[in-house]
Structure 1
Amino acid sequence: MPTSHVPAPDLILTGGTVHTVDRTRPRAEAVAVTGGRITMVGSAAEVSAVAASSTEVVDLCGRLLLPGFVDAHNHVRLGSDEDSAQLAGADSLAEVHRRIAAWAAAHPGADWIEAEAFDYGAIPGGRMPTAADLDVVTGDRPAFVLTYDVHSVWLNTAALRRLGVTRDTERLPFGVVEKDPATGEPTGFLTGFAVLGLARDGQRALAEFLPWAGDSRRYHRLCRSLDMAAESGLTTVVEPQNSLDDLPLFERARGEGRLRSRLIAALFHGRGTTAAELDEFAAAAKKFDDDQFRVGPLKLYIDDVVEPHTAALLEPYANEPGNSGRTFYDPEEFAAVLTELDRRGFQTFTHATGDRGIRVALDAHEAARRANGPRDARHQLVHVECLHPGDVDRFARLGVVACMQPRHGAPDVAGPGKDWAEGVGQDRWAHAWAFRSLRDAGTTLAFSSDWNVAEMDPLAHLYTAVTRRDRDGGRAWVPEQAITLEEAVEAYTLGSAYANFCENDRGSVTVGKYADFAVVSQDVFAAPAEALRDAAIDLTVVGGEIVYAR
């Protein structure tokens, strides 16, 4: 590139490998930045020639510069609560008991025992936990335990009593009460928390009694997650599920300088959302509409999750004959909802996990397109975990993006012997997290972490997408659905940018786009895939400003 018309840059990053995700120039050695945007991509000599005395020069020392990661589905507002007992990695009921007992002893004055990240697999035999399982370590103090996917809640007997739950209680504002089929009594397990408990009314109900749901804890979780985002090389984050009540948290974070990554906030469209509420959503989208903080898409659910057998399957669960899960809407109702949202110009993110849930959602998008005509809507199906092969080609044909989280499909999370794999059964494994099939069919893949359900670290997700192995490098699960590193990086950058209508200024290292970069500690393209497990984010740049340096 000629240098005569390139303005003196504010920042130059040179001396490494630049993987641009730009097919017109896939590789380079250096990048120049002026006014927050990329003004030059080229060789070290070319870019160094435009440096001025005022230019800050960062020597990459052989490291890899990527476009900043665009995390298309990251619950930064929900986050992880360090004031709760942490159950991640507790793989037995005894270990769960030990951690909860330790937390309770360390917090003798706490009115509620609070815990998070319970793994369904800690209970032997694939059964769901009961109040009695908690009572042995919690005593008369009420306990509120979130599952690792934040889709279910585990309560003890004291909590059931405190909340007034009896055999006649069908649901609370934040969850559906599961009953013992033999006795009809509440088991202590609530499903549907992601749909009810994270909605506006559910959050308000929780805030009346649970410290976890209070404003100070919510803001602390948000700030901690935003710090992690910068440290993880995430230059744009999509927060997929918020109510209008949550938007002041983001305003505060921005005003206090905590919002270092760009953020797109989706609003939750629960069943029964009114036309008046849609008007409020549209007004919020107009109010918050810049490249640092934007509000706009709508989040819906068609089904739940596989582990507690609440995702909708075409055939019954392999380990629970007679149960095929459920959808939150009848197909005709969901098609009508999607058609109206599409008519009004909204972009939608639909949580769809099971093969029947995915099919019902695709049918709804097809109905919307038939009624309204095609448009560049970029509607997304999120998760797409158990996909029927007959539906693979429909994504590209309907212009629907597959927003997926590779670590969810790792063998140590969902593979053989785990609740997910055993629930869907081996006959359906071939299209579990079907990255290769979808990409080959022309589908846009948008990768994301789904923090705090999985690690926020994008390198961990890239490793799984490329190898289909667990972090220890064991046997690959469904390796035929692996994709290349180039394809995985594109899904985590340009694919996610496209999915969120920001590919013109993000997602690749291209002149004119924002100077949003992630610098990786080594060139993982020049090393075996295992290098992704050891690599780290050394530097994060947003708009030409270094927002994190390791």
Structure 2
Amino acid sequence: MRFLACCLCLTVSLHAAPDLILHHGRVITVDEAFRYAEAVAVEAGRIVAVGGNDEVLALKGETTQLLDLGGKSLLPGLMDSHVHPAAAMTEFDHEIPTMETIAEVLTYIRTRVAASQPGDLIGLRQIFITRLEERRYPTRAELDKVAPENPVVFSTGPDAMCNSLALKLGKIDRDFKLPEGHPGKVEKDAAGEPTGLLRGFAPTIKAPRKEKSPSAEDTHRRTLELFRDYASVGLTTIADRNSSSSLLSLYQKMRDQKELPVRVRVSMGLNAMSLWPAMVKSMEEIIQHPLTKPNVELQIIGTKVFLDGGMLTGSSLMSQPWGVSEAYGISDPTYRGEQKIPTDRLRQMVAKITGVGLQFTAHSVGDAAVAMLLGVYEDADRDGSIRGSRSSVTHCNFMQPESIALAAKLGVCVDLQPIWLHMDGRTLTGHFGEERMKHFQPLRACFDQKVIVGGGSDHMQKIGSFRSVNPYNPWLGMWTAVTRQARKLDRPVHLENALTREEALRLYTTNNAYLLKLETETGSIKKGRLADLILVDRDPLTCPLEDLPQTVVLKTWLGGKVVFEK
């Protein structure tokens, strides 16, 4: 890294003095050379000067606010490429404890039974079996024991374990059949009876649920609370990667009322298996929506669909069979996971969305799903639409070398969440083994081949950067990308796939800026960029590596305005 000995740029005009000068700091510009500076000047929400203290301070005027950074580190605001802000409402009715054992899951269900009436539905979402000590689903019998008079659905992503009453109310028995072509599956025991494990679909259970319903004001208040918490850990831009019309309207209201403490990029969710005329209508509504026009505060950047199932539930689409597994409830030795969208339908959707310059992305976890999506992108690229649309692969957890090479050739981006490695690497390594895990989150190869990878969290539930499902603390994400260290595992997960600290910082700054169509506006500290800045208590590039996840954000600016201060 090199210190900027001279001022990179001067004020935008000769007569206007900066509104704000931040000086005597350690400014990590995240420019092409990762240079350091000492001071930054801001005018009308944008950066107008970066360089040494003397040069930048010489620009001050009578009304310029001066802030001595005291040698602390100033960075560009961070970005999360993948969140689900509906997570703000998870604990609206009651707090949900962290559960790391089957016993804790069953204890929680008992408390919900006690708070409900017989017949009320008990639901529990996103307690991933990979994170339980037993590394398995609770069984149908275990759920029956703690809730004999209540239907119980323990769902993890696209898959669910049900108790006997839930199966009965859902009319799922040994003779149950899904419609022709449906990718889901009912797991059965040796006698042909449902085990309770349903893959790729949720049963329709007509039963009341004893939980409070939030008002529009409740949703507004809690979502804003979440956005402010994002800002408190250094995030100035987030991408909602499966948004609904109601959430989009909420974001628009927040923007209009000038409440947003983060920039919001939106991928609208699509039901890929609706009838094609309805699908076309949904896509046209998105394409024609006014919020698709470029806007730094709030913009629809594209669409999102689900191509395969879940890595943590045993249903992602793999090139090789998953393997028989008690933990995942897999009894078929040839089972490779689920393909949720026929290839021809996927091809039609990609052509429609990318043809108008919007970003298409699909939840694609397994290496076979990733290869399939990239193959469809290659077909679409004959019209020259893929690179410009910033179309991407979401999750991309398992990726073969040929897929990395194709993504590099096409200019396809990757929306990846290092936190999956940290939270779930132990169970995945135990199931797939060392050889197959070579292809898990191959960040080193992606960077070496110039594939643009953006860092995200897939935040699903709760407010709190470490307690959430999944943790949205970006410093923990960076540390994971550098160390490849999984919880409760005594060795890194293929350290040869690790990034440097500079590269890990790029995941959450310049790379995400490109992925989210903001690369000319933010992501680095340069002349003309928006003054999205964070002040932290340590230099993340030189502090002891073990301390990186504990980085504390002292102040966050969005367009030169303070949106968080510790």
Q: TM-score, normalised by structure 1?
A: 0.87
Distance, in Å, in 2 between the alignment partners of 1:338 and 1:324 is: 24
After TM superposition, the structure 1 = structure 2 runs for residues 291-440 of structure 1, keeping only pairs within 5 Å, are: 291-320=296-325, 321-371=333-383, 375-410=387-422, 413-416=423-426, 418=427, 420-440=428-448
Equivalent residue, structure 1, for 2:99? 90
Secondary structure, aligned partner of 1:72: strand
User: Mean Cα displacement is larger for which, 433-442 or 158-167?
Assistant: 158-167
Match of 1:54 among 59, 63, 70: 63
Distance, in Å, in 2 between the alignment partners of 1:206 and 1:446 is: 41
User: Mean Cα displacement is larger for which, 346-355 or 222-231?
Assistant: 222-231
State whether residues 87 and 118 of structure 1, in contact with CA within 8 Å, keep that contact through their aligned partners in structure 2.
no
Equivalent residue, structure 2, for 1:446? 454
Distance, in Å, in 2 between the alignment partners of 1:47 and 1:103 is: 60
Equivalent residue, structure 2, for 1:45? 54
Distance, in Å, in 1 between the alignment partners of 2:116 and 2:229 is: 26
CA deviations 1:511-537 (Å, max 9, x no partner) are 111100122221122222112022122
CA deviations 1:400-423 (Å, max 9, x no partner) are 00111111112xx2224x1x2234
Distance, in Å, in 1 between the alignment partners of 2:112 and 2:406 is: 48
Report the CA distance between 1:254 and its aligned residue: 3.5
Secondary structure, aligned partner of 2:71: coil
State whether residues 72 and 536 of structure 2, in contact with CA within 8 Å, keep that contact through their aligned partners in structure 1.
yes
Distance, in Å, in 1 between the alignment partners of 2:441 and 2:15 is: 44
User: Mean Cα displacement is larger for which, 268-277 or 1-10?
Assistant: 1-10
Report the CA distance between 1:13 and its aligned residue: 2.0
Structure 2 residue 523 is matched with structure 1 residue 507: yes
Report the CA distance between 1:7 and its aligned residue: 2.8
Structure 2 residue 23 is matched with structure 1 residue 7: no
State whether residues 12 and 31 of structure 1, in contact with CA within 8 Å, keep that contact through their aligned partners in structure 2.
yes
Report the CA distance between 1:105 and its aligned residue: 4.2
User: Mean Cα displacement is larger for which, 260-269 or 3-12?
Assistant: 3-12
Report the CA distance between 1:10 and its aligned residue: 1.7
Report the CA distance between 1:80 and its aligned residue: 5.9
Distance 1:96 1:336, change over 3 A: same
Secondary structure, aligned partner of 1:442: coil
Distance, in Å, in 2 between the alignment partners of 1:538 and 1:123 is: 34
Distance, in Å, in 2 between the alignment partners of 1:7 and 1:496 is: 32
Distance, in Å, in 1 between the alignment partners of 2:288 and 2:432 is: 42
Structure 2 residue 197 is matched with structure 1 residue 180: no
CA deviations 1:72-127 (Å, max 9, x no partner) are 11111344612466666422211212233345546779954443441214667654
Distance, in Å, in 1 between the alignment partners of 2:155 and 2:16 is: 53
Secondary structure, aligned partner of 2:86: coil
Which letter maps to 1:283?
Q
Distance, in Å, in 1 between the alignment partners of 2:556 and 2:207 is: 35
Match of 1:32 among 37, 41, 47: 41
Distance, in Å, in 2 between the alignment partners of 1:537 and 1:80 is: 25
Distance 1:187 1:249, change over 3 A: farther
State whether residues 82 and 457 of structure 2, in contact with CA within 8 Å, keep that contact through their aligned partners in structure 1.
yes
Query: Structure 1: which 5+ residue stretches go unaligned?
Result: none
CA deviations 1:204-242 (Å, max 9, x no partner) are x99996858865575565334212211121111100102
After TM superposition, the structure 1 = structure 2 runs for residues 453-464 of structure 1, keeping only pairs within 5 Å, are: 453-464=469-480
Secondary structure, aligned partner of 1:270: coil
State whether residues 137 and 161 of structure 2, in contact with CA within 8 Å, keep that contact through their aligned partners in structure 1.
no
Distance 1:546 1:94, change over 3 A: same
Equivalent residue, structure 1, for 2:228? 227
State whether residues 120 and 208 of structure 2, in contact with CA within 8 Å, keep that contact through their aligned partners in structure 1.
no
Report the CA distance between 1:249 and its aligned residue: 2.5
State whether residues 414 and 453 of structure 2, in contact with CA within 8 Å, keep that contact through their aligned partners in structure 1.
yes
Structure 2 residue 200 is matched with structure 1 residue 192: yes
After TM superposition, the structure 1 = structure 2 runs for residues 147-158 of structure 1, keeping only pairs within 5 Å, are: 147=156, 150-158=157-165
Secondary structure, aligned partner of 2:534: strand
Report the CA distance between 1:270 and its aligned residue: 2.3
Equivalent residue, structure 2, for 1:279? 284
Structure 2 residue 521 is matched with structure 1 residue 521: no
User: Mean Cα displacement is larger for which, 434-443 or 228-237?
Assistant: 228-237
Equivalent residue, structure 1, for 2:463? none
Equivalent residue, structure 2, for 1:269? 270
State whether residues 122 and 209 of structure 2, in contact with CA within 8 Å, keep that contact through their aligned partners in structure 1.
no
State whether residues 355 and 385 of structure 2, in contact with CA within 8 Å, keep that contact through their aligned partners in structure 1.
no
After TM superposition, the structure 1 = structure 2 runs for residues 137-156 of structure 1, keeping only pairs within 5 Å, are: 137-147=146-156, 150-156=157-163
Secondary structure, aligned partner of 1:334: helix
State whether residues 119 and 207 of structure 2, in contact with CA within 8 Å, keep that contact through their aligned partners in structure 1.
no
Distance 1:169 1:34, change over 3 A: farther
Secondary structure, aligned partner of 1:73: strand
Secondary structure, aligned partner of 2:142: helix
Distance 1:39 1:372, change over 3 A: closer
State whether residues 17 and 62 of structure 1, in contact with CA within 8 Å, keep that contact through their aligned partners in structure 2.
yes
State whether residues 88 and 222 of structure 2, in contact with CA within 8 Å, keep that contact through their aligned partners in structure 1.
yes
Distance, in Å, in 2 between the alignment partners of 1:206 and 1:403 is: 37
Which letter maps to 1:29?
E
Distance, in Å, in 2 between the alignment partners of 1:241 and 1:95 is: 30
State whether residues 20 and 508 of structure 1, in contact with CA within 8 Å, keep that contact through their aligned partners in structure 2.
yes
User: Mean Cα displacement is larger for which, 338-347 or 78-87?
Assistant: 78-87
State whether residues 292 and 301 of structure 2, in contact with CA within 8 Å, keep that contact through their aligned partners in structure 1.
no
Distance, in Å, in 2 between the alignment partners of 1:427 and 1:527 is: 33
Cα RMSD after superposing both structures: 3.3
Which letter maps to 2:436?
R
State whether residues 273 and 341 of structure 2, in contact with CA within 8 Å, keep that contact through their aligned partners in structure 1.
no
Which letter maps to 1:457?
N
Distance 1:234 1:107, change over 3 A: farther
State whether residues 72 and 447 of structure 1, in contact with CA within 8 Å, keep that contact through their aligned partners in structure 2.
yes
Percent identity over paired residues: 28
Which letter maps to 1:234?
L
Which letter maps to 1:228?
D
Distance, in Å, in 2 between the alignment partners of 1:8 and 1:535 is: 33
Distance, in Å, in 1 between the alignment partners of 2:213 and 2:129 is: 23
CA deviations 1:120-152 (Å, max 9, x no partner) are 1466765433443223223423444443xx333
Secondary structure, aligned partner of 2:389: coil
Query: Structure 2: which 5+ residue stretches go unaligned?
Result: 1-6, 326-332, 461-468
Distance, in Å, in 1 between the alignment partners of 2:93 and 2:125 is: 7
Secondary structure, aligned partner of 1:71: strand
Number of equivalenced pairs = 535
Structure 2 residue 540 is matched with structure 1 residue 532: no
Distance, in Å, in 1 between the alignment partners of 2:359 and 2:55 is: 42
State whether residues 351 and 382 of structure 1, in contact with CA within 8 Å, keep that contact through their aligned partners in structure 2.
yes
User: Mean Cα displacement is larger for which, 430-439 or 109-118?
Assistant: 109-118
User: Mean Cα displacement is larger for which, 160-169 or 309-318?
Assistant: 160-169
Report the CA distance between 1:426 and its aligned residue: 2.5
Distance, in Å, in 2 between the alignment partners of 1:109 and 1:232 is: 43
User: Mean Cα displacement is larger for which, 345-354 or 157-166?
Assistant: 157-166
User: Mean Cα displacement is larger for which, 123-132 or 540-549?
Assistant: 123-132
CA deviations 1:137-179 (Å, max 9, x no partner) are 23423444443xx33344444444555555555569x995734
Q: TM-score, normalised by structure 2?
A: 0.85
